[in-house]
Structure 1
Amino acid sequence: MLKSSLGLLCTLAWLFTGHSDVIQYLPFLHNQANSNQQPLHYLYRAYRAGDEQALEQLSQRAIALNDGYWLHFAKLAGSAQAKRYFSYLQVGNEGNKAAIKALNYSAKRGELDAQVALYHHWITQNQLEKAQHWLSRAAKRDASSALMYAKWLSLKGQESQALESLQIAQQLGSAEALKLLNMRAGSAPKKYSELTLASSKAVVENCAQRLQFVASSLHSVMQGQAFIDNFANDERLKTLPICINRPLWLAPDSLTCSGNWQGAGRLGCNMTRMSQSLFGQRFTHVVVLAQAGKANVHNGVMFLDSQDDYNVFVHELAHFAGFIDEYPLSEGLASVICELNDAPNLRVSRQGHQPDMLGWQGLTKGQRIAVSESRTCDNHQAQAYKPSTKMTFMEFYDVPYIPPIYLRAWAERLANKPLLTPAYINFYQGYDAKGDTEQGTYWRTRYQHYLQAD
């Protein structure tokens, strides 16, 4: 469905005035189109200033971005590409078969925008084989289509073909494809004999947590990068001292995972195998992006699958700081959690007794604490309480609300290293279980340096 850009309506009065006074600024306008966050706006201005080629550039970019607002003005200005694209959008019943026929004619003649339009049409009709045909054709000449096709192939498990399409996208000028390829090139594991602990001594710098995403497929790497981009723009979390490295794109055999790891019914991976790609890397916690399984956090490693979205990531991220789920825990888990009283977001007390709110009172800046019952311990005789009367992100993934007191408690917990468990512990435990003293010592020493670092 086409998106609109109504925020730019206020510019239209200026755009439709005389353009003789801006002709001399065409180079400036094209430069702005290549570097500004509103490139279509500047391309349209260049067209209004007399540059006919800018109209076709506007149409091409608007089609790639699926931006109906600027496609509309490109169509009104006479763009053949925009007109053909809109003819596809109008196809929705038997009376419009002629439009599809016209698009097929243009697409078979090699017209790129018609091929892209047919891809979108067949996707909306759930005709995946036809959609893939036209996307694969467009991917040979269009960077955006090549990148999209690479992800398509990766989702189908065709990683070698996905890599080829990604390389084509890079050759066609895709900056995103180049960035993704660099993630792959930079993820080759180092030999243990080449490593020292010098790089780990400053592991946290000014970051209480430094996350490292790892994945072994293109679509998972792209999923991780999308999470990173969302995190960078998430106003809720901007005060938290959390940093994120770019994802590491590992070889398929470097990440051995299962949706029922060790029979626990949760997603998990071979820690020692994974750690071979992380020697010498600067991180404190790891986020694994695997194919399928239930999201969870174990010590310093988070496990997500290809269906998990950014909301799930944020929920699990809070677990790194000791936050507890506010939905009913299983009896087994409740028997442990509901006997403790150290979660930032919960206090547990016996039925009929008020919770101890001393720790929360220092976070409210003198304001009254609004406390309500949490469902966490519904399968236990104790009662859990939370410092909020509203449903929060710890009860349901899709609830975006994070109370201010939660954020202050989160920041306070991140400042207390002994209460945090980095991924070094996961790796140490893995090697210890195998009896590998040498590599186990490496990760144990990194944990010790982590605790000692300023």
Structure 2
Amino acid sequence: MPEQLLMDKAQQGHGAAAVLLARKREQQGDFSAALNWYQKALDAGLTDELAAFLALKQRQDGFLATARYLEHRLQQQQSVSAAEADLAANYGLWHYSQSPAYFASNSNSFCSLTLQPVVQSKMGSSQLQLLQQQWQQDPQLSSLPVCFLPEIRINSTDLQCSYQSGQRIQCQYQVLIPEVAKGGFTQLLVVAGEGTANYNNGIVQLAESSSFEVLRHEFAHILGFMDEYSLSKAVAQTECHSDKIRPNLLTDKSQLDLYLQHWQLEKHEVQLQPVESCDKAAVQAYIPVSNLSFMRSHEAQVPDLYVKLMQKVLAKPELIMPVQYFYAYLARQEHDWYHWRLLMEQAAKQGYPDAKQSLQETAVMPTAP
């Protein structure tokens, strides 16, 4: 059929003609035109083309824009088919989903540290399931008193995580305030978005494609382990001139005796090795092991000494900053004193000293007459 005739038919509401044009334009690489013709097919009632349309729209406009489109489309419908509900789960529109949330049981009966997983799509949920299975199968990490709660599902259009290759993933973490305020966990594990995984103030942020090795690395940051490659100048200036005694980093050889005493180690257990961590702060840093570790390269092994140090940190979980303390700080910035107190009380309940002190200071503050 001549193309002009196809176009005339498609414009008149013939869905099959619009599909043929959409596929032809897609093969030609004219994705904007292809999207337009797919939309014509959908308008004509050919809902089987929705998956193809969404895949192309995601390629053109990104995950979040596609999720918003689908959310708007489904809101206009009186009913949602099983196929549409499955697509909704793929794009993190959970109120249409029928699939059960995943929960991995824990082999440890005692939890020094409890992680609350958060996902924003079916892909993130599947990846979380894989990561937790790998955790349980890992002889080192599964021996730690660490537990995972059932996943919390947040709509992608609410969490709004970034999809920027090579950049740190950022999400709208404020939407998690109600969950964080409930307590019952100490850290968030967010599996959503794409980009560079990171850990910040009680939030482990993984990509939906992050490997177990990346989870292992970011988890160690919760326990105070530092990167063993060159830190950014800003981080190096702060961390490399700090008096904190890190599990895996000494900023001066003269710290060795204090380090051994703090971690209750024998001198023969430690072999100092220079690393580049503090180069941008003009400080020569050292790690306590001679071999390449997972804090320098994700794929490297976790030294036995580091597992021992992890266990020592977890023996005093009250000293690990809970995510509720960070959220209390965010509430304070917004002058939201109700949530500040609620969150600070949750952090204090977990024994975090700074939270206890903050509550004590507010209790004795004089009030205006």
- TM-score scaled by structure 1? 0.53
Look up the SS of the partner of 1:327 in the other structure.
coil
Is 2:214 the partner of 1:312?
yes
Q: 1:238 aligns with which of 142, 145, 148?
A: 142
Query: Could you tell which deviates more after superposition, 159-168 or 363-372?
Result: 159-168
Partner of 1:412: 312
Where does residue 58 of structure 1 map in the other structure?
Answer: none
Aligned to 1:289: 191
Q: Does 1:380 align with 2:298?
A: no
Deviation at 1:316, TM superposition (A): 0.3
CA drift at 1:416: 2.2
Q: Any conservation in 1 of the 2:183–2:324 contact (CA below 8 Å)?
A: no
What is residue 338 of structure 1 aligned with on the other side?
A: 240
Residue 324 of structure 2: aligned partner = 424
Contact 1:271-1:426 at 8 Å conserved across structures: no
User: 1:378: how far off?
Assistant: 2.0
Give, in whole Å, the separation in 1 of the partners of 2:247 and 2:233: 21
Q: Structure 1's 355 and 166: CA in aligned 2 closer, same or farther, altered over 3 A?
A: farther
Counterpart in 1 of 2:259?
Answer: 359
Q: Compute the displacement of 1:331 (Å).
A: 1.6
AA of the residue aligned to 1:433: Q
Correspondence for 1:145: none
**What secondary structure, in the 3-state scheme, does the structure 2 residue paired with 1:360 have?**
helix
CA distance in 2, matches of 1:163, 1:424: 39
Greater shift, 419-428 or 277-286, is seen at 277-286
Asked if structure 2 preserves the Cα contact closer than 8 Å seen for 1:225 and 1:247, the reply is no
Which residue among 112, 126, 147 is the counterpart of 1:208? 112
Q: Secondary structure at the match of 1:183?
A: coil
For 1:165 and 1:281, how far apart are their aligned partners in 2?
36
Distance 2:123 2:282 in 1: 44
Counting matched residue pairs gives 268
CA contact (8 A) 2:183 2:346 kept: no
Q: How far off is 1:320 after superposition?
A: 0.4
SS at match of 1:408: helix
Q: How far off its partner does 1:180 sit?
A: 8.3
Asked if the contact 1:287/1:303 (under 8 Å) is kept, the reply is yes
Segment of structure 1 superposing worse, 362-371 or 300-309: 362-371
Match of 1:396 in 2: 297
Counterparts in 2 of 1:288 and 1:368: CA distance versus 1, 3 Å: closer
Checking the alignment, whether the CA contact within 8 Å between 1:364 and 1:405 is kept in structure 2 is: no
Larger Rg: 1
- Structure 1 residues 398 and 183: alpha-carbon distance in aligned structure 2, compared to 1, 3 A threshold: same
| 1:391–1:318 Cα change, 3 Å | same
- Equivalents in 2 of 1:437, 1:266: separation in Å? 30
Q: Deviations over 1:157-192 (max 9, x none)?
A: 577799945978xxxxxxxxxx982229x9xxxxxx
Partner secondary structure for residue 276 of structure 1: helix
Q: Which runs of 5+ in 2 are unaligned?
A: 1-50, 75-79, 87-96, 354-369
Matching residue of 2:100:
182
Cα distance in 2 for partners of 1:163, 1:438 equals: 42
- SS of 2:124's partner is helix
What is the Cα deviation at residue 394 of structure 1?
0.2
- Per-residue deviation, 1:257: 2.9
Q: Percent identity?
A: 23
Aligned equivalent of 1:222? 126
Q: Contact conserved, 2:194 with 2:209, CA < 8 A, in 1?
A: yes
CA deviations 1:378-410 (Å, max 9, x no partner) are: 2222111111110000001121x1112111111
- Give the structure 2 partner of residue 301 of structure 1: 203
TM-score, with length taken from structure 2: 0.64
**Secondary structure, counterpart of 2:131 in structure 1:** helix
The corresponding residue for 2:160 is 256
Q: Select 1:322's aligned residue among 224, 235, 241.
A: 224
AA at the equivalent of 2:273: S
Question: What is the aligned-residue RMSD (CA, Å)?
Answer: 3.5
Determine if contact 2:119/2:153 at 8 Å carries over to the other structure.
yes
Q: Distance in 1 between matches of 2:289 and 2:302?
A: 9
- 206 and 368 in structure 1: CA distance in 2 versus 1, 3 angstrom threshold: closer
For the structure 1 residues 377 and 180, does the alpha-carbon distance in structure 2 shift closer, same or farther, using more than 3 Å as the test? farther
Separation (CA, whole Å) in 1 of partners of 2:118 and 2:84: 19
Aligned to 2:26: none
